[in-house]
Structure 1
Amino acid sequence: MTHSSPARQHTPRGRFVAILAAGAALALALTACSGGSSSTGTASGSAAVSYGDIDIQLSYLKNTEFAGEYYADSKGYFTDAGFGTVTLTAGGSSAVSAEAQVATGKSIIGISSPLITAPAVVKGAAIKIVAADYQKNPFDVVSLASAPLTTAASLKGKTIAVADFNSLVWQAFLAANNLSADDVKTVPWTNGPDQLASGQVDGYNGYTTGFRGTVGAAAVPAVEFLLADQGLPLVGETLVASQDTIDNHRDELKAVLTAIVKGWKDAVADPQAATDLTVTDYGKDQNLDPVTELAAMTKQNTLMVTDDSAANGLLTITPDLIDQSIAALKLADIDITADQLFDTSIIDEVFEDDPSLK
């Protein structure tokens, strides 16, 4: 598809090139962070407090993954919370990582992944995950409908294409299901859908928001299962903040989280409107395909809205899910504790202060 981002083509390559680049540059960026950003429009309004202008570092290019932030900006929720101009800085392979941006105080909050944040914390970055967009991680395994792979156990004796940049996730998934390299043959990803359609592999590891039910130019019917449903529960699209912000700017952080929650409530409630806002405004320079973005937005809702988030509120993380995420990271050889990586007290306070946001 010529009008969609790499993630929308169900290829993890573009996204994980960005992840790899962010990880490689993190140590340098923490001491000498630099990089441009692009400002968004700011709705008019007034608030009882004034926190000034802020930056939010996105994890990727501006598509529907960040529709909640677009709504918070366009509907004036940031303004109502006391903020001036809100800059939503796009991520990507050339962008500074969210971890570096928040650690150096350039962004009040950033959107990232535990697989990036946890290693940064282990290396000494004073940052924490404070909320999560995705209650279920978006990684999947896709296979042909005529030869479906529906469980982790069904992968035994099969050949799966996996991108180099997804190796940590795949390692953790295999370990969680007591599968070894001898059980499942892993080959390099070149173009997973084409590799599958042509019979080069039995399946490939991809990203569910890009899955459309067919693969290859001939649109061969395909099926998927989520790694989250097969032994690898791990939060995704996590919001990170510096320890300094958590300790010394708590009210400001709570205000920005409140605005983002309001924005995501609107986006989740109306995927079509969220897609329109993305395609025609915030992501207009990406030449996004409306049909593809709507499908991604609709699929994304299934990762965000779960029984837990319905009960506790969007972006919250239960203690059980935190423990499961820590266990998943250990399977990827990332040794970190829940207290080192997570602080969900502020997002919990958002809903304690205003239960109507649930």
Structure 2
Amino acid sequence: MTDQLNSPGGAMSRRGLLGLGLATTVGFALAGCGASTSTGAGAPAAGGLGQLQYAFSWLYDVTQAGPYIADTKGYYNKVGFSSVKFIPGGPSAVSVLTQLANGTAQFGVSSPTEIVAANQNGASFRVIGAMYQKTPSCIVSLRSNPITTPADLKGKTIAVSNADKPAVEAFLAVNGLKSSDMTIVPFQYDPAPLVAGQVDGIMDYSTNSPISLKQSGHDPAVMMFADFKYATITQTYVASTDQISKNRTMLKAALRADIMGWRADIADPKEGASLAVNKYGKSLKFSLENQLACNQAEIALIRTADTEKNGILTVTEALQKETVETLALTGVHTTVDNLFDMSLLAEVYKEYPELRTLS
């Protein structure tokens, strides 16, 4: 397993806002980005929405299990698209927000940090749904020297990437600690220093190093940031306010198809993993064991008490507020109104209440 290939949600923030340059493109011409400008209620005619241009935040791994299933089972066709074109992300890819701004994509997944940065440079994007209700950020250690609570970090040596230092410092702050309470050393997204005993822990993602360590015969201990006062969403569905106003039918259809895909993935995680290994990500040569484990870790971030009650991708008002507060701790400042618009999902679940309940 290559660690960087299995960092759902984190990959985009780690590589930064590649090629955004949004400060000089305030207009964006987004009115023409959608396949349909209809705002009428009800399902569109078969194929009436044309092809959906869907930009992923990362490579063709199991991060996108829900969309893979939605494509394979014909859910995009069912909601009115003639077909779907997936556009992979990755270290060298054009950012999702840039693609939405220039019209090469109509729909996609980004992160709150990127959205806030773009909005501060003249854009007007909103989170319209969230895949991960909890951040996958965590401290990974070994059971032989476990770190299971924030207090355990005192006096320890922790490997942290430069990009993740603001998150670690914020996590420490909300738990009454500071960076001087431990020794922070650089992290290259490789757990080898942990295995070698050179560090006591690494800051990574629950969908990443814990899986590779376990599958290589080690016994990892995982301390999730979300379990200790660090509440934030990620892997967020995004649209411009112009799209939300003018292309509601298209956006609602895309959300509906993905909801159906994610419901199916939760019901049978092996199906999404198999599609990542044998079809969409075949050239990346993943193992089924690896992708299944990653998918199960991902589902743990998607399926919560709130989404059990309100539906996949929804974000409660309380979590919206907590996300904004957590972002502020990392130096990223916004407001709930400038970051979220849950009206599309509210309409989807009102029109299709059967999608709300998970099996």
Tell me the TM-score normalized by structure 2.
Answer: 0.88
Q: Deviations over 1:236-273 (max 9, x none)?
A: 11111111110111111111111110111111110111
**Gap change, CA 1:30 and 1:149, over 3 Å in 2:** farther
Q: Which residue of 2 aligns with 1:235?
A: 233
State the SS of the aligned residue for 1:25. Answer: coil
1:292-350 deviations in Å (ceiling 9; x for gaps):
00000111111110100000000110011111100010001111001001101111211
- Structure 1 ranges of 4+ moved more than 6 A: none
1:287-306 to structure 2, matched below 5 A, reads: 287-306=285-304
Q: Does 1:79 align with 2:77?
A: yes
Cα distance in 2 for partners of 1:29, 1:137 equals 28
Residue 109 (structure 2) pairs with residue 111 (structure 1)? yes
Distance 2:329 2:136 in 1: 18
Shift of 1:28: 5.9
Structure 1 gaps of 5+ residues are: 34-45
Query: Where do 1:125-274 residues align within 5 Å?
Result: 125-212=123-210, 215=213, 219-274=217-272
2:157/2:182 contact within 8 Å kept: yes
Report the equivalent of 1:350.
Answer: 348
Percent of residue pairs bearing the same amino acid type: 37
Name the SS of the counterpart of 2:207 in structure 1: helix
Cα deviations by residue, 1:3-61 (Å, 9 ceiling, x for unpaired): x46243x7x9x954x5354414211697499xxxxxxxxxxxx9456111221110100
Rounded Cα–Cα distance in structure 2 between residues aligned with 1:306 and 1:122: 31
> C-alpha distance in 2, partners of 1:275/1:53?
25
Contact 1:70–1:263 at 8 Å: present in 2 too?
yes
Given that residues 81 and 259 in structure 1 are in contact (C-alpha distance below 8 angstroms), is that contact kept between their aligned partners in structure 2?
yes
Given that residues 311 and 355 in structure 2 are in contact (C-alpha distance below 8 angstroms), is that contact kept between their aligned partners in structure 1?
Answer: yes
CA shift, 1:63, in A, is 0.8
Aligned match of 1:23: 17
TM-score of the two chains, using structure 1 as the length reference = 0.88
Answer whether contact 1:130 1:240 (CA < 8 A) is retained: yes
What CA distance in whole angstroms lies between the structure 2 residues aligned with 1:213 and 1:28? Answer: 37
Q: How far does the alpha carbon of each residue in 1:112-136 deviate from its partner, in whole angstroms, 9 at most, with x for none?
A: 1112222211222111110001111
Cα distance in 1 for partners of 2:189, 2:63 equals 22
Pairs within 5 Å for 1:36-115: 47-48=45-46, 50-115=48-113
CA distance 1:262–1:213, change in 2 (3 Å): closer
* 8 Å Cα contact 2:22-2:123 kept in structure 1: no
